[in-house]
Amino acid sequence: MLNPYTQILRLARSGSPERAWSLMAEHGLLDSASDPKALTLQARLVKDRAKRAGAGSGRARLFDQSAQLYARAAEIARSSYPLINAASLSLFAGKPAQARRFAEDVLDLIAADPAEGETPYWREATRAEALLLLDHEAEARAALGTAMARQPHAWEDHAATIQQFALILAEKGWDAAWLDMHRPPPSIHFSGITGLDPDASDVVAAIAQFIASERPGFAFGALAAGADLLFAEAFIAWRDAECPAAELHVVLPYPVDRFRQISVAAFGDRWTSRFDEALAQASTVTAYGLGDPTLPLAVDYADRVAMGRAVRNAQVLASRAIAVTVLGKGEGLRPQLAAWRDSGRSLTIIEAARSPVSRPSPDIARQSLQTFVWADQHTWSIHADLLSAATEARRLASAGTSGRAAILLAPGDPDDAPSPLLQRAAALAAVANPNTVVSDEPTAMALVLAGWDGTVEELGELPLPSGREPIWSVI
């Protein structure tokens, strides 16, 4: 059973602030006189409410209310975290004098306690934020540089700071371009043709040049013989030499053994050992292929997930999502990559000549990628378009006072939903909070890629008949 603090935070993150507020009231946590954790949570909810409000005095009032709650928490806990929040929110509330007073208190608190701050990064970043609020921009820049040097790969922390600094600079009407040098590295989706010569030096050189230019921190893709493996090997070599914290996330359309047979060994024995070596050096490996879809369909599914993960990671880190693909000379882009480029995202194309290597032809089947929607009224539907399905699921979940819905992207027959998929969708809906839509992680990432306009947040691991796995809110 989750403690109420964790439940409230998850509800806030998943786009259910009203339920989070109700749960705080239910546990007697509102307007606490002695619990800084409860006050901080309440302040977070009020701050989120202010961000959703339109411009005007009502928004300023909410920012000030949040600032006062954070200030009360800081008074009890003697901590710089709630106090710096109180300072910045006071600025957003249109109270610069109050912001300066709180910022000065932050600097005094840090100076008096060498151990203040959750980590060495947050201690110096908090000092930098206080200096910025006090209009000491040059000192703030220097302090932020010191903070990032102390923990150079704390990328999520860096992203949170950059987002906060951007808001402060915008409020002051100052240029924020200097923040770009501190942004976390880009997230890359890599892909390309099979049937390349294992020693394709021109392709290897082009990939190495791309990596050296972009300096990615994260790479998402498969490991098929050809372009995939050439990229993964180049990325691993660059990581080992230049950026040990960089992460290779492998997403396979089939379980490992079957993928090795179909997409690696089928192109020659020389690729197999290279596949195993790259796989062993991956940060994570995720394999799909449930329901035994045809190869093109399985690749389409895995590509959407990998591309969505790259976009999501870049969103979380306030960075960039870019893609690179190796394309056969004279060949057109696959639909997923064309959609990526047409959405305005960066796509680098490296052209190469295929080797004359034969491979088994994929089976033809009636299956296609479908989205299955299940509502707790025991109604279900099948949709060819993912965004339309999500919109319908949201409508069903908002009907009544306790609506729940789930969506699943999966290979399937458009005229006949497989029983295991419906059972899985029903199990997902059963663990949803009222008036919410949930999905598994692949569906959530596909929605991110498609540009879903709702909230996409991980709810944590929850028990399902298939075992414990991540559940996402996509309301």
**Beta bridge partner(s), residue 285:** 250
Model confidence at 107, pLDDT cuts 50, 70, 90, reads very high
Residues 81-109 have a mean pLDDT of 97
In this predicted structure, the answer to whether residue 10 has a pLDDT above a threshold of 80 is: no
The whole-number pLDDT of residue 102 equals 97
pTM of structure:
0.89
- Give the C-alpha separation, 327 to 51, whole Å: 44
Half-sphere exposure of residue 471, counting CA atoms within 13 Å on the CB side? 27
- The predicted-structure confidence for 400-430, as pLDDT tens digits, reads as follows 666 789 999 998 777 777 778 888 888 888 8
Residues 6+ apart with CB under 8 A from 470: 440, 441, 458, 459, 460, 461
In the block, tokens 């206080």 appear at 130
Pairing type for strands 436-440 and 467-473 reads: antiparallel
pLDDT digits (tens, 9 = 90+) for 251-310: 999 999 999 999 999 999 999 999 999 999 999 999 997 667 888 899 999 999 999 999
- CA-wise closest residue to 71 among 84, 89, 83: 83
Task: Identify the CA nearest to 462 among candidates 427, 434, 435, 425.
Answer: 427
Angle 389-390-394 from CA coordinates, rounded to 5°: 120
The structure tokens listed for 13 are 């993150």
The answer on pLDDT for 95 being more than 90 is yes
For the chain, percent of residues with pLDDT exceeding 90? 70
Tell me the average pLDDT across 75-90.
96
Per-residue pLDDT at 23 exceeds 50: yes
